[in-house]
Structure 1
Amino acid sequence: MAGGAEWRAMRRVRPVRDRPASPDGVTCSMRALFAICAAFIVVCLIGYIPIMLKEKHVPRFDWGPEVNRNTSHYIRPDDNTTLLQPAGHSAGGCRPFLLVVVSSAVKNFPARNAIRQTWGAPANLPADVVIRFLVGTTANGSLVENLIAESEVHDDLVQQDFVDVYSNLTLKTVMMLKWVTSSCQPNYILKADEDMYVNIPRLHAYLKAEGRPDLITGALICNAEPRLDKYSKYFSPRYMFAARRFPAYVSGTAYVLGSDVAARLYRTALTTPLYHLEDVFLTGICASKLGVRPTDHVGFTFWRRAMEPCEFNAVMMAHELTPDELRAMWRRLQEPGLEAACAAASPPYKPRKLVKCRR
């Protein structure tokens, strides 16, 4: 009996010890688990990466609710804030019919040079038209040195004492008015971005025929609403502008100011709380305070035009050109017989419709 009990005990143990292993099964299970985990991680990363990228691209916004928005504080109307200007410049020696001020970033020498080689070259301008490039300051020492050298060579830079960043565009434009009203007395000012083509002959002829001292004209924008999306470069917090809609204004890509209204806008800007979108601030908010209504001109747009020479030949300006595109278009505009070819074109170029804002 004892021997039988031992034999049964051994039988209970032996199957455990002698049961064949299944390494292939275990390996397959582990591989499947690993694959599931890896897939889960990949899905999570794919879903999270756009969120990370979006957070990284939130535009810098320097005008928080605690920041002083007294425009006069930054413009310093009683101080000389001009750091660079053309040699020998004086108020008495600067009385053009049309002063073109190109708002340019310090680093963007290629854009300035493309303008100097095309529509803004002195040889291509009427005698009573002057062009200047407006810049601010930068902490980059190399750019500062380059800017000084550029000024010595081209003698067409105006540098004002403010930090030249996108959020300071309103300061840049008011600084422009400060310099113009104190150092230059043009009949008209064209403020233009650096990625523009400007048809100076057509603009010059229009202002000679129909201009007036209180003129504010460009691409008119009606009933625009402030953008509350903080990811937009045009973000407009309620504490800066509380109304539902902006007053009518002209696009900051390019607009014309008469000498009289330019001086009045400058004085009004100094006593108006700063708003960071410069075209809205100056040609909308400040103009509205003055009771001056900006007008639309079909030769101005704020969108990119078709790269067709007949269109460029017929309008006042075109937006969003790279330096190479500007040079290429300029060469096409100089081709003989362009006027006749455009007159015979089918279909001929038709301007956009005139915009009128309801009161």
Structure 2
Amino acid sequence: MYAVLCSLFQLRGKKKNKCIAAAFVVLMMWIIYYVVYEYTVCGSDPYSFLSEHCFADTRTHSYKYLINEAEICKPLPDNIFLLIVVPSRTSEFEERQVIRQTWGSLAVNNTEIRLVFMLGYRPEIDQQVLKSESETYHDIIQEDFYDSYRNLSIKSEAILRFANTFCSNVKYILKVDADVFVNLPALIEDLRERGGTNMIMGYVFSFRMPFRDQGSKFYFERISYPLTYLPTYLNGPAYVLSGDTPRKLLSVALNTKQYALEDIFITGVVRKRAAVQLIHHRRFDYRKPFVDICWFEHKIIGHSFNKEQMLEIWSQKVQNKTCTTSIRVFYMLHDRLALW
């Protein structure tokens, strides 16, 4: 290869040999730079997330509120214990209704809990319908960013912005997806016993490699994410933030290269750069759960439920379904085996 390059300059004899040697030296220097510098700063080093070289960016989150509940955290002088924010698509009225009718109903007329849904904007959705829903339930927050899967990180920034601007007095924020059933009494009890500040809590994933398959919706371009491993991060469907973290996380997020996968972006890269503590909690179970209220005796969340399943679980709870010893033993053994 070097000989071909040097032949282009019509070099012969010693000059050609010197040209080949010089080209070889330049190539070696580039390889050394890439291996020693790039790999250390932008490679698998766990502290590379702190490097401005790889992850720096400057953005603003200047989207306008189309619908807002600016007073939702202000009626009481005491701090609100828990703000629940559900990222929701504009078209998901039925999903929002199911949450309002099931586990989310515990937030109604509760002085310590607030529940809101965070939406973006879709031009094909009738805004008047959303405004009517907002006037009925007073739990819709909507910014004018385009609502799509690729903009989930923008939606998470919107959650941080809202919490920081209008609910800075809350002790904890639960970010939870619309297909998650929450054992809210268990979560409240756990947070009261645990306490904590400067933390994000949920189910931790470690040593995961980025998807390089371009056909996957989880795809990471190597040029934008050169690291071998993803940062330690939380399972995205549900996690808890202490009330002091939204300001810090939002500030760092707007100065960090953004990725579409919001759990990796917010709880991984941004969280690490912001020096926020990550707490693993086994009861934030990410596996496919059972459609059974008894399964929730030792769980805080269950993921991937459809509307009918959530209604069924809530019906079992309302009817005070009896959880027999055999059922409890079955779920205990199931959990133990799943850990293997």
| Structure 2 residue 147 is matched with structure 1 residue 164 | yes
Q: Quick one: which amino acid aligns to residue 286 of structure 2?
A: F
285 and 125 in structure 1: CA distance in 2 versus 1, 3 angstrom threshold = farther
Q: Quick one: which amino acid aligns to residue 106 of structure 1?
A: T
Who is 1:268 aligned against? 252
Q: Could you tell me whether the CA contact under 8 Å between 2:73 and 2:80 is conserved in 1? A: no
| Structure 2 residue 309 is matched with structure 1 residue 325 | yes
- Name the CA distance, whole Å, in 1 between partners of 2:255 and 2:263: 17
Number of equivalent positions:
279
Ranges in structure 1 where 5+ consecutive residues have no aligned partner: 1-68, 354-359
Q: Residue deviations 1:63-105, cap 9 Å, x none?
A: xxxxxx95623x12xxx72221237546575942100000111
- Name the CA distance, whole Å, in 2 between partners of 1:346 and 1:100: 29
Residue 292 of structure 1: how far off its partner (Å):
2.9
CA RMSD of aligned residues (A): 2.3
| Structure 2 residue 111 is matched with structure 1 residue 155 | no
89 and 293 in structure 1: CA distance in 2 versus 1, 3 angstrom threshold = closer
TM-score normalised to the size of structure 1?
Answer: 0.72
Q: Residue deviations 1:161-212, cap 9 Å, x none?
A: 2111000000000111011101112110000000110011000011111021
Q: Is the partner of 1:72 in helix, strand or coil? A: coil
| Structure 2 residue 116 is matched with structure 1 residue 132 | yes
Q: Could you tell me whether the CA contact under 8 Å between 1:248 and 1:293 is conserved in 2? A: no
2:318 counterpart (334, 341, 350): 334
Who is 2:7 aligned against? none
Ranges in structure 2 where 5+ consecutive residues have no aligned partner: 1-55
- Name the CA distance, whole Å, in 1 between partners of 2:209 and 2:171: 33
| Structure 2 residue 128 is matched with structure 1 residue 145 | yes
Residue 290 of structure 1: how far off its partner (Å):
2.4
| Structure 2 residue 270 is matched with structure 1 residue 286 | yes
Q: Quick one: which amino acid aligns to residue 331 of structure 2?
A: Y
| Structure 2 residue 161 is matched with structure 1 residue 175 | no
1:86 counterpart (55, 69, 76): 69
Q: Could you tell me whether the CA contact under 8 Å between 2:161 and 2:246 is conserved in 1? A: no
Residue 241 of structure 1: how far off its partner (Å):
1.1
Aligned pairs (5 A) from 1:208-287: 208-287=192-271
Residue 268 of structure 1: how far off its partner (Å):
0.8
Q: Could you tell me whether the CA contact under 8 Å between 1:125 and 1:200 is conserved in 2? A: no
Name the % identity: 29
Who is 1:107 aligned against? 91
Q: Could you tell me whether the CA contact under 8 Å between 2:80 and 2:112 is conserved in 1? A: yes
Q: Residue deviations 1:49-70, cap 9 Å, x none?
A: xxxxxxxxxxxxxxxxxxxx95
Q: Quick one: which amino acid aligns to residue 72 of structure 1?
A: R
317 and 346 in structure 1: CA distance in 2 versus 1, 3 angstrom threshold = closer
Residue 323 of structure 1: how far off its partner (Å):
1.1
1:116 counterpart (97, 100, 107): 100
Q: Quick one: which amino acid aligns to residue 162 of structure 1?
A: F
Q: Is the partner of 1:243 in helix, strand or coil? A: coil
- Name the CA distance, whole Å, in 1 between partners of 2:70 and 2:202: 31
Q: Quick one: which amino acid aligns to residue 267 of structure 1?
A: S
Q: Quick one: which amino acid aligns to residue 156 of structure 1?
A: D
Q: Could you tell me whether the CA contact under 8 Å between 2:70 and 2:166 is conserved in 1? A: no
| Structure 2 residue 309 is matched with structure 1 residue 347 | no
- Name the CA distance, whole Å, in 2 between partners of 1:100 and 1:289: 25
Q: Residue deviations 1:292-312, cap 9 Å, x none?
A: 341211111223212222112
Who is 2:297 aligned against? 313
Residue 347 of structure 1: how far off its partner (Å):
1.7
Q: Could you tell me whether the CA contact under 8 Å between 2:67 and 2:143 is conserved in 1? A: yes
